[in-house]
């Protein structure tokens, strides 16, 4: 379950890579295409029309829990497509994908990829607009939009990762803090103040120390306000009232000593969760991994609720992270890879096998929910109540939260590079060296000058 324990910052395309792409071109192999213009831009992938599609595909996934889940679904896929052989390979995608796509040698037919990476690789990937068309109205809008670049859609949306507020119910009850009163972030601050009054050594709210994860969480908070680091045209919009509101909240947590500053699930983080000093964790649904696998002393005490809203009646969740499946243009059987992903995500047998009880997750995959809304039916849970959350019905909480996430925008190719500026300046604010205004001003200038203007 490394994917949930530590999200590594993905490598980004370098300037050298961009030059190489121009020099090598983007030759397409195998599948038919539609669209495209006379500049040589890639066309749109078309699904195979053979009655019994046949061939061999190579699918790259990261090693770990999800690899084992997808591996187990191959037999179900072959029950529908017996003539397609799936070579499922565990790969360090961040280390290998960039060079593989640049050289065009041994390119896989399909790849599991962080949503934040899709925009940076779009030139190498098939536009999936046509094959996704029958499903688009039923996919969470935020997932479609983060996979969209210049009118094309370059990823098959996989997971939906709504932000939730995880909390230690036992510790808060013992301190007399009523979590049912938390509806806004001002309410969360009041609850944290009350808990700290009862336990002065505590830092009730998690403050993320990792630059990458801190920026990812910042986008979750901002997403609740319907904004993000870039707008639909890729224009930077960090210097705004919405980001000022979020940064001011985080700075208040720091200034009033209401937070525990630690990297996600590091030894320090886990220790402060176990000893009751850190009792509020605003994070993606994948934090549920912690009480199930890592928090031995407080397992069963944790619960999840919707995030607070920034204003009364506002959205109670935002997306944090997420992944999709992409289909490289130089793969030999891209159209067959599409059939594999179509089965995983949009066929009831496929998505039930992914999120339902299996050998890897006996109670079901409960660290995300499907982005395909018919699969995320609140009344038809795919995974069971989570014992480590006191038997709570996490499916109901997560699907209700997911339904409130505002639509998103394409993630710009420079998003990862922005961590060097925004992610770093956010940490300097949490050190007490910068104000929220400083962060917005400095990071905006740095990102614009060093990333956007150089594209």
**DSSP-assigned states of every residue in 265-287:** T-HHHHHHHHTTS--EEEEEGGG
For residues 372 and 426, membership in a common domain is answered with: no
User: Are both 281 and 328 inside the same structural domain?
Assistant: no
Query: 348 and 298 in one domain?
Result: no
Q: Is residue 331 part of a domain?
A: yes
Statement to judge: residues 276 and 422 lie in one domain: yes
Examine the domain organization and report whether 182 and 154 are in the same domain. Answer: no
The CATH code of the domain that includes 135 is 3.40.190.10
CA dist 372 and 51 (Å) reads 26
pLDDT of 41 reads 45
Name the percent of the chain lying above pLDDT 90.
Answer: 82
Looking at the predicted structure, is the pLDDT value of residue 368 above 70?
yes
What whole-number percentage of the chain has pLDDT above 70?
Answer: 91
Closest alpha carbon to 12 in 321, 418, 328, 327: 418
- Nearest to residue 182, comparing CAs of 204, 156, 212? 204
> Could you tell me if residue 358 is inside a domain?
yes
**Which domain, by its residues, includes 443?**
163-319+408-452
Radius of gyration of the chain from its Cα atoms, rounded to whole angstroms = 22
Alpha carbon distance 126, 153 (integer Å): 8
**What is the pLDDT, as a whole number, of residue 16?**
29
User: Using one digit for the tens of pLDDT, what is the confidence trace for 31-65?
Assistant: 444 433 332 345 899 999 888 999 999 999 999 98
Q: Are 156 and 173 in a shared domain?
A: no
Task: Tell me if 264 is assigned to some domain.
Answer: yes
Residues 173 and 307 in one domain: yes
Considering the domain architecture, whether residues 348 and 419 belong to the same structural domain is answered as: no
Give the DSSP H or E segment for 142.
helix 141-146
- Report yes or no on 200 lying in a domain: yes
Residue 184 tokens read as 């806004």
CA-nearest of 153, 229, 151 to 451 is 229
Q: Which residues contact 294 (CB under 8 A, 6 or more apart)?
A: 5, 265, 270
State the burial class of residue 201 (Cβ atoms within 10 Å of its Cβ: 0-12, 13-18, 19+): exposed
Tens digits of per-residue pLDDT, 155-210?
999 999 999 999 999 999 999 999 999 999 999 999 999 999 999 999 999 999 99
Residues 209 and 266 in one domain: yes
User: Is the model's pLDDT at 23 over the cut of 90?
Assistant: no
In a domain? residue 402: no
- Position 397 in a domain: no
Would you state the torsion angle of the CA atoms of residues 393, 324, 8, 315, taken in this order, to the nearest 10 degrees? Answer: -50
Q: 25 lies in a domain?
A: yes
pLDDT at 3: 41
Q: How far apart are CA 156 and CA 172, in angstroms?
A: 41
Which pLDDT does position 6 carry in this prediction?
37
Whether residue 11 sits in one domain with residue 25: yes
Q: Residues 319-359: pLDDT tens digits?
A: 998 999 999 999 999 999 999 999 999 999 999 999 999 98
pLDDT at 432 > cutoff 60: yes
What is the chain's mean pLDDT, rounded? 90
The total of structural domains in the chain comes to: 2
Residue-level pLDDT at 346:
98
Rounded to 10°, the helix 422-430/241-255 angle is 40
Note the pLDDT tens digit of each residue in 260-305: 999 999 999 999 999 999 999 999 999 999 999 999 999 999 999 9
Please list the residues that pair with 60 across neighbouring strands.
89, 111
pLDDT tens, residue by residue, 59-83: 999 999 899 999 999 999 999 999 9
Residue 93 has a pLDDT of 95
* Shared-domain flag, residues 15 and 140: yes
75 neighbors 68 (Cβ within 8 angstroms): no
398 within a domain of the structure (yes/no)? no
Length of the chain in residues, anyone? 455
Which pLDDT tens digit goes with each residue over 220-273? 999 999 999 999 888 999 999 999 999 999 999 999 999 999 999 999 999 999
Checking phi first, is residue 25 left (phi over 0); if not, alpha (psi -120 to 50) or beta?
left
Backbone angles phi, psi at 148, to 5 degrees: -100, 135
Q: Are residues 306 and 418 in the same domain?
A: yes
CA distance 54 to 443: 51
Collect all residues with Cβ–Cβ distance below 8 Å to 445 and sequence separation of at least 6. Answer: none
Beta bridge partners of 125: 328
User: Of 384, 417, 432, which closes a domain?
Assistant: 384
Q: What is the pTM of this model?
A: 0.86
Burial class (CB in 10 A: 0-12, 13-18, 19+), 15: exposed
């Amino acid at each position: 379950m490394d994917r949930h324990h530590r999200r590594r910052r993905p490598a980004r395309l370098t300037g050298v890579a961009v030059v190489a792409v121009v020099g090598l071109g983007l030759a397409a192999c195998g599948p038919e295409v539609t669209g495209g213009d006379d500049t040589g831009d890639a066309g749109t992938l078309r699904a195979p029309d053979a009655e019994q599609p046949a061939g061999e595909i190579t699918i790259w996934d990261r090693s770990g829990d999800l690899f084992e889940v997808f591996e187990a679904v191959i037999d179900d896929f072959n029950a529908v497509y017996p003539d397609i052989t799936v070579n499922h390979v565990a790969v360090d995608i961040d280390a290998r994908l960039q060079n593989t796509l640049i050289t065009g040698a041994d390119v896989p037919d399909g790849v599991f990829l962080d949503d934040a990476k899709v925009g940076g690789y779009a030139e190498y990937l098939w536009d999936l607009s046509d094959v996704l068309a029958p499903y688009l109205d039923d996919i969470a809008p935020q997932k479609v939009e983060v996979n969209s670049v210049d009118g094309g859609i370059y990823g098959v949306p996989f997971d939906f990762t709504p932000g939730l507020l995880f909390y230690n119910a036992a510790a808060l009850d013992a301190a007399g803090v009523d979590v049912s009163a938390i509806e806004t972030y001002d309410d969360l601050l009041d609850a944290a103040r009350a808990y700290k009054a009862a336990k002065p050594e505590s830092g009730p709210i998690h403050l993320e120390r990792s630059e990458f994860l801190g920026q990812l969480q910042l986008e979750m908070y901002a997403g609740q306000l319907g904004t993000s680091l870039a707008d639909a045209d890729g224009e930077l919009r960090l210097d705004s009232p919405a980001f000022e509101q979020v940064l001011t909240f985080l700075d208040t947590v720091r200034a009033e000593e209401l937070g525990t500053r630690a990297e996600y699930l590091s030894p320090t983080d886990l220790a402060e969760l176990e000893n009751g000093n850190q009792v509020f964790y605003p994070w993606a649904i994948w934090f549920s991994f912690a009480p199930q696998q890592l928090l031995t002393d407080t397992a069963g005490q944790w619960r999840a609720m919707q995030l607070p809203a920034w204003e009364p009646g506002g959205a109670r969740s935002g997306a944090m992270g997420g992944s999709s499946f992409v289909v490289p243009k130089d793969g030999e059987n891209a159209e067959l890879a599409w059939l594999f992903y179509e089965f995983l995500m949009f066929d009831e047998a496929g998505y039930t096998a992914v999120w339902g009880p299996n050998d890897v997750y006996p109670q079901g995959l409960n660290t995300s929910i499907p982005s395909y809304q018919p699969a995320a039916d609140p009344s038809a849970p795919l995974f069971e109540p989570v014992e480590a959350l006191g038997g709570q019905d996490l499916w109901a909480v997560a699907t209700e939260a997911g339904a409130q996430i505002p639509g998103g925008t394409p993630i710009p190719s420079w998003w990862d590079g922005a961590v060097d500026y925004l992610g770093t300046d956010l940490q300097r604010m949490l050190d007490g060296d910068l104000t929220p205004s400083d962060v917005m001003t400095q990071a905006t200038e740095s990102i614009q000058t060093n990333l956007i203007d150089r594209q």
